[in-house]
């Protein structure tokens, strides 16, 4: 079963994000308080699989959720295999596309 491992945010673009434990995602905006949140940005919420972070660790990198500037770190879902336009339900109220 897929699950969310971390929710991460930063006030500035181009930096590692901090794990904020939980957040508010607004429709057509993104993660409240995150530098990438904006109605004009093409990628308002980004996801990365924990499995990808684990691969980087096996290569000797000292990384954790948020270090690749993702907003949501997942586990148990192959994100790279999902077709463009896939809808993901996160919790009971959020649907990401």
Q: Which domains does the chain have, with CATH numbers?
A: 3-96 (2.40.33.20)
Q: Which residue is listed with tokens 């904020």?
A: 20
If 0-12 CB within 10 Å is exposed, 13-18 middle and 19+ buried, where does residue 80 land? Answer: exposed
Length of the chain: 97
* Cα dihedral value 61, 66, 5, 8, nearest 10: 170
What does pTM read for this prediction?
Answer: 0.89
The predicted structure's pLDDT at residue 41: 67
Dihedral sign, CA of 31, 33, 36, 40? Answer: positive
The predicted structure's pLDDT at residue 10: 95
Confidence band of 8 (pLDDT split at 50, 70, 90): very high
């Amino acid at each position: 079963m897929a699950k969310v491992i971390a929710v991460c945010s930063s006030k500035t673009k181009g930096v590692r994000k901090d794990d904020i434990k939980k957040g508010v995602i607004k429709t057509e905006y993104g993660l409240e308080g995150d530098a990438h949140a904006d109605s004009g940005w093409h990628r308002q919420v980004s996801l990365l699989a924990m499995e990808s972070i684990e691969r980087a660790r096996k290569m000797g990198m000292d990384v954790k959720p948020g270090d690749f500037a993702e907003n949501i770190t997942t586990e148990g879902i192959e994100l790279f295999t999902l077709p463009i336009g896939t809808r993901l339900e996160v919790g009971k109220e959020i649907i990401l596309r």
